[in-house]
Amino acid sequence: MKNVIELKHPLIEHKLAILRDKKTGTKEFRELVEEIAMFLCYEALADAKLDEETIETPICKMKTGKLNDDNYAFIPILRAGMGMLDGVIQVMPNAKIGHIGMYRDETTFEPVNYFFKVPKDIEKREVIIIDPMLATGGSAIDAIDLLKSKGVKKIKFLCIISAPEGLKAVTKKHPDVKIFTAHIDEKLNENKYIVPGLGDAGDRIYGTK
Ligand code: PRP
Ligand code: URA
């Protein structure tokens, strides 16, 4: 899966170890989700084109480059994706933000879309979707379908934990979308939860269970 980039770094493994631990409380869980999102965003922007600019250091003038936030939009998939938003905003504070509301039906495991609101010039932007979990891949596929139907051409997907089954499904349906994940786990269980995973990301971020 050449379009799947896994962050392989001891610092990420360390943060994931705390994140996954069932004893980790809501406050620390939220902070770690934000921090890992920041690293995912850093990696996802490795191919960013910079606008050439001349600046003056205390020593001399120099030609350099600056990122143009107007070229980007972040789209969290509600609810759990919101947990990653503050992390990515720290990397690119002026990027526009859209929202896609989706939940997995607990019996069919199919995603249900309940909200869609994106910046009006979305088709001109590179869109970075954020959602901590990519399990069956159904939510990711539907979110990408929706954005493509609005004319978006360049899409990246950032997730903290992914399952091989979901990655296969998303890359098959959308081979042009690059997926950045902090870790590829082993498999899905019979309830389509990621194993070993971290449980229900939304519930752990918002303390709802
Ligand atoms: C979780 C997660 C993804 C989805 C992944 O959301 O945040 O959106 O499941 O599963 P999939 O790859 O099988 O589609 P959930 O349905 O728990 O909703 P929530 O964010 O509102 O808690
Ligand atoms: N959604 C989650 O929050 N966790 C999983 O393991 C799968 C889907």
CATH label of the domain that carries residue 36: 3.40.50.2020
Cα–Cα distances in Å, from 4 out to 62, 168, 190?
A: 36, 10, 24
Atom of ligand 1 nearest to the CA of 135: 12
Q: How far apart are CA 151 and CA 124, in angstroms?
A: 8
- 107 Cβ neighbours under 8 A, 6+ residues apart: none
Span 57-61, mean pLDDT? Answer: 98
Does residue 203 carry a catalytic annotation?
Answer: yes
Lowest mean pLDDT among 85-89, 100-104, 164-168, 199-203: 100-104
Are 110 and 26 in contact, with CB atoms under 8 Å apart? no
Q: Which atom of ligand 2 is nearest to the CA of 201?
A: 3
- CA of 195, closest atom in ligand 2: 6
Distance between CA atoms of residues 101 and 29, nearest Å = 22
* β-bridge mates for residue 184, sequence order: 162
Does the annotation mark 200 as catalytic?
yes
Counting ligands in written order, the one closest to the CA of 143 is: 1
pLDDT bin (cut points 50, 70, 90) of residue 145 is very high
Concerning whether 136 is annotated as a catalytic residue, the answer is no
46: containing domain: 4-206
Q: What is the mean pLDDT of residues 34-40?
A: 98
C-alpha count within 13 angstroms, C-beta hemisphere, residue 170: 32
Q: Is residue 181 annotated as part of the catalytic site, yes or no?
A: no
> What average pLDDT does this structure show over 148-165?
98
Per-residue pLDDT, 95: 93
Binned at pLDDT 50, 70 and 90, residue 178 comes out as very high
Q: What confidence tier does 189 reach under pLDDT thresholds 50, 70, 90?
A: very high
For residue 41, the model assigns a pLDDT of 98
What is the structure's pLDDT at 104? 86
Q: How far, in Å, is the centroid of ligand 2 from the Cα of 43?
A: 23
**81, 132 Cβ separation under 8 angstroms:** yes
pLDDT at 170: 98
Query: In angstroms, what is the C-alpha Rg of the chain?
Result: 17
The first and second tokens of residue 158, run together, are: 């950032």
Flag whether pLDDT at 72 surpasses 90: yes
Residue 1's pLDDT band, with cuts at 50, 70 and 90, is confident
If you average pLDDT over every residue of the chain, what do you get?
97
Ligand positioned closest to the Cα atom of 132:
1
Domain count, the chain: 1
Q: How far apart are CA 132 and CA 134, in angstroms?
A: 7
The average pLDDT across 130-152 equals: 97
Q: Which of 51, 108, 145, 208 is catalytic?
A: 108
How many of the other CB atoms lie within 10 Å of CB of 133? Answer: 26
The per-residue pLDDT for 167 is 98
* Residue with CA nearest ligand 2 atom 4: 200
Residue 135 CB–ligand 2 contact under 6 Å: yes
Report whether pLDDT(13) > 90: yes
The alpha carbon dihedral of 66, 42, 170, 3 has a sign of positive
Whether 209 has a pLDDT exceeding 90, the answer reads no
- Considering 21, 51, 105, 203, which one is annotated as catalytic? 203
Span from the CA of 135 to the centroid of ligand 1 (angstroms): 8
Give which of 187, 155, 150 is closest to 171, Cα–Cα: 155
Task: For residue 207, name the pLDDT band (cuts at 50, 70, 90).
Answer: very high
